[in-house]
Structure 1
Amino acid sequence: MEKWQRMSEAEKQIMDIIWASDRPVTTAQIIARLPEDKAWKQNTVITFLARLMEKGLVSATRVGKANHYQPRMSEQEYRYCETRQFIQDVHNGSVTGLISALCESGDLTKEDIEALMKRLKE
């Protein structure tokens, strides 16, 4: 991916639906899968999809009268990008700084530490 851009919360809700699908989805299918508390109109969803396309996160293929949307990166790949950006923004690119902050805050359990140690030894 040439230039990664962070998604808004609303865009992420759309992406979650796209990622959960095993094949490309239409705007109508996305609207049908939105949670009940999200009563977005079709134009709103289309706007979010256009933004996701501009960010390079989604591609569209025209089939008949409908666009079929599919992800250009997996949810896992996106999480990696988010994590790298967080470490860069908050810890000046230092993974050690991130781990130190977790240790000092008391957020790591004994099991977390053991799993990290095992992973680092691999």
Structure 2
Amino acid sequence: MSDRLRLPPLLRLYLAPESTVPRRIDGAWWPRTFDLLTEVPPLLSGLPRAWGQIASVVVNDTVWTGAPGRMLVRNQVVRLRRTTTAHLPSTIVLTAPNHGRRDLLVVPPEATERAAESLMSAVGLEQGHFAS
């Protein structure tokens, strides 16, 4: 029997290059499930420090599981909120005090890599590649 160290799966995240031009989508995220409590901590831990400490996460209520409320991520309380707003069905909204809002396209967990890259291209994230 092997005592191999189990590493967590790589975060499947693509961020658009920093720019002075405002954009609607700041990147794309391909979670493995729609479970908030499982997926949000690794996402927030993998974001660039320049985005600040995320204080609020807003997701679509119709696809995500897990109770809204608060969770502790990297010793910081993060507020989880849900919405049914029509323009947010496939995005996650992250806000950080003094750093503003960032919107990520959420690629459905069951998508293939080809479908994920097609979705990124459709929102203008031309050179994306997800790490599996």
- Normalising by structure 2, what TM-score? 0.30
Structure with the higher helix share, 1 or 2: 1
Q: Which has the higher contact order (CA 8 A, sep 6+)?
A: 2
Larger Cα-atom Rg: 1
Structure with the higher strand share, 1 or 2: 2
- Normalising by structure 1, what TM-score? 0.32
